[in-house]
Structure 1
Amino acid sequence: MNAVHRERHFTERIGWLRAAVLGANDGIVSTAALVVGVAAASPERSAVLVAGLAGLVAGAMSMAAGEYVSVSSQADTEQADLARERGELRDAPEHELEELRGIYVQRGLDPELALRVAEQLTARDALGAHARDELGISEVHSARPVQAALASAGTFAVGAAVPLAIAALVPAERIIVIVSAVSLVSLAGLGALAAGAGGAGRLRGAWRVTFWGALALALTAGIGRLFGTTV
């Protein structure tokens, strides 16, 4: 007997990939922009490093809290929908069976086949069938707040460490140029990696991340230069 072959799809990565990419991208962009902005206003390395480190810690915690609250809200909504569906299955099973049959008819099955499919799926796992086919809730796409929070915070810290480490190692007068260059290269690599992991075009993924990163760096450098010369 042949073993069952289970295909793995890119959509299975959506839960952690979105949070991880968002965290790493935000870590690089926000910390690099903060470092560049402070360096443009003040040449003192200590001020740059303190600002960058504070940005890393605050940003990681903010990302974790934001992702946890956001995804928890999604999870609460999913659970509320499932609870309501569970009650409807208990109180009106015939109506729910017809509702499921109608969904399959709309998807292209003839009414008789749709009824047989609905009956078999209902007999096996009625709530699972309605969650998947009526509500669009599946195990792959279900909300996982803790996973999203940890992925965002961890990848934010890793991303933020890149410009912060560069600022600590390079000559103070070269911080703006080198941090900007390394951060943009890192963003391009991150965009390409994330696009590839999600099955999309790497070049497009690299370009869109790099563009917004460059814009953020340019704006903060300009603000830092402006206030550094007027204060």
Structure 2
Amino acid sequence: MSIPKERHYSDRVGWLRAAVLGANDGIVSTASLVIGMATAGATLAGVLTAGAAGAVAGAMSMAAGEYVSVSSQKDTERADLARERRELAANYESETRELAEIYEARGLSSTLAQEVAEKLMHHDALAAHARDELGFSHVSEARPLQAAMASALTFLSGAALPIVASLLAPRQGIVLVVAIGSLLALGLLGILSAKVGGSRVRVAVVRVVVWGVLAMAATAGVGWVFGVVGT
């Protein structure tokens, strides 16, 4: 009888981090940009143009940043694996003992640790060292393209909300409608990320909402200053 495979929250950490970061940035940065432009007295066309341009630029920036960052992580992993492969070829016995010492430190007896190390080395020496010495696993495996696509698409999804809100809001109420709508969306995002990631809902919601308020307030202040200066 086979044991059913368990699903853990950590299995989602790679794409969840990129998705939450992208959606959060899309909402906060675009809403802040729209509010700043509206506070400065820009026309509706100016507000929408700035919001759309910011959304596209932000999505591309997020995708590029994630791809470069995660690709660098992947390059480091490959370099470590190449080095470990060379060490295994040159010093197989010492590498076996090194693995056994790791298992001893985790609580196995010296004899059992040596036996386990030898069996795992015989099965797949590189995989054993990658997992138990270097700490690599399928959960933390770097996936540059996946991270880039998740960031870009979720950024655009988040950015769409303040743009649509500014389009539908009355001319004098853009700031209020965009701010309220964006904060509600951030709250929902916090709830969703907490549920998917298995964390505390209240902490996740407060975290994203507080930073959203600070960002929008700051850009509203900048817009007000430049609006006054420009008149």
TM-score for both structures, normalised by structure 1: 0.98
Pairwise CA distance, 1:223: 0.9
Tell me the equivalent position of 1:54: 53
Tell me the equivalent position of 1:163: 162
Name structure 1 gaps, 5 residues minimum: none
Q: Distance in 2 between matches of 1:217 and 1:196?
A: 26
Q: Distance in 2 between matches of 1:172 and 1:95?
A: 73
Tell me the equivalent position of 1:187: 186
Pairwise CA distance, 1:129: 0.6
Question: CA RMSD, aligned part only?
Answer: 0.7
Pairwise CA distance, 1:3: 2.8
Identity of aligned residues (%): 57
What are the residue-to-residue correspondences of 1:20-169 with 2, within 5 Å? Answer: 20-169=19-168
Pairwise CA distance, 1:181: 0.2
How many residues are matched?
Answer: 230
Aligned residue for 2:56, secondary structure, equals: helix
Q: Distance in 1 between matches of 2:194 and 2:124?
A: 36
TM-superposition CA deviations, 1:164-216 (whole Å, max 9, x none): 11111111111000000000010011011112211100111001100000000
TM-superposition CA deviations, 1:98-142 (whole Å, max 9, x none): 000000011111111101111111111111110000000111111
Tell me the equivalent position of 1:215: 214
- Structure 2 residue identity aligned to 1:27: G
Pairwise CA distance, 1:4: 2.5
TM-superposition CA deviations, 1:23-52 (whole Å, max 9, x none): 000000000000000000024100000000
Q: Distance in 1 between matches of 2:152 and 2:23?
A: 9
Q: Distance in 1 between matches of 2:52 and 2:192?
A: 26
191-200 or 74-83, which deviates more: 191-200
Aligned residue for 2:198, secondary structure, equals: coil
- Structure 2 residue identity aligned to 1:151: A
Matched-pair contact (CA < 8 Å) for 1:43–1:172: no
- Structure 2 residue identity aligned to 1:59: G
Q: Distance in 2 between matches of 1:40 and 1:19?
A: 31
1:4 paired with 2:3, answer: yes
TM-superposition CA deviations, 1:137-168 (whole Å, max 9, x none): 11111100000000000000000000011111
Q: Distance in 1 between matches of 2:106 and 2:3?
A: 26
Tell me the equivalent position of 2:224: 225
Q: Distance in 2 between matches of 1:59 and 1:34?
A: 11
Matched-pair contact (CA < 8 Å) for 1:43–1:173: no
Q: Distance in 1 between matches of 2:116 and 2:39?
A: 66
Q: Distance in 1 between matches of 2:176 and 2:31?
A: 11
Q: Distance in 1 between matches of 2:70 and 2:226?
A: 38
Matched-pair contact (CA < 8 Å) for 1:100–1:134: yes
- Structure 2 residue identity aligned to 1:203: R
Pairwise CA distance, 1:230: 1.3
Aligned residue for 1:6, secondary structure, equals: coil
- Structure 2 residue identity aligned to 1:190: L
